Amino acid sequence: MRIPFTKMHGLGNDFVVLDARAQALPPINGDIAAALADRHTGIGCDQLVLIEPSGNADLKMRIFNHDGGEVEACGNAARAVGLLVGGELTIETLGGTIMARPDAAGIAVDMGEPRFDWDAIPLAYAMDTRAMPVGWDMLESPVAVNVGNPHAIFFVEDLSAVPLGQIGPVIEKDPIFPQGINVNVAQILSRDAIRLRVWERGAGLTRACGTGACSTAVGAMRRGLVDRKVTVSLPGGDLVIAWDEDTPERKGRITMTGPATIAYTGSFDWGAYA
Ligand SMILES: N[C@@H](CCC[C@H](N)C(=O)O)C(=O)O
Q: What is the mean pLDDT of residues 222-243?
A: 97
- Which among 149, 205, 215, 261 is the best mutation to test ligand 1's pocket, defined by most ligand atoms within 8 Å of the CB? 149
Number of helices and strands (H, E) in the chain? Answer: 4, 19
Architecture per CATH, 118-252: Roll (3.10)
- Domains in the chain: boundaries: 2-101+260-272, 118-252
Cα separation, 11 vs 50, whole angstroms: 19
- The confidence band for 247, taking pLDDT boundaries of 50, 70 and 90, is low
Please determine, for the modelled complex, whether the ipTM score is greater than 0.85. Answer: yes
| pLDDT(11) > 80 | yes
Fold adopted by 2-101+260-272: Diaminopimelate Epimerase; Chain A, domain 1 (3.10.310)
Question: What's the pLDDT score for residue 23?
Answer: 85
Q: Which of 50, 63, 209, 256 is catalytic?
A: 209
Please check whether the two domains, 2-101+260-272 and 118-252, share a CATH topology: yes
- Residue 71: how many CB atoms within 10 A of its CB? 24
The arithmetic mean of pLDDT across residues 219-231, rounded, is 96
Q: Which of 9, 179, 200, 207 to mutate to test the pocket of ligand 1 (most atoms within 8 A of CB)?
A: 200
Strands 89-93, 59-65: pairing is parallel
- Atom nearest to 78 CA in ligand 1: 12
Q: What is the pTM of this model?
A: 0.97
Local structure of 186: helix, strand or coil: strand
Pure H helices in 24-163: 30-37, 75-85
Distance 154 CA to ligand 1 centre (A): 17
The percent of residues above 70 in pLDDT, for the chain, comes to 98
Q: How far is 101 from 107, CA to CA, in rounded Å?
A: 6
Ligand 1, atom 4, lies closest to the CA of: 74
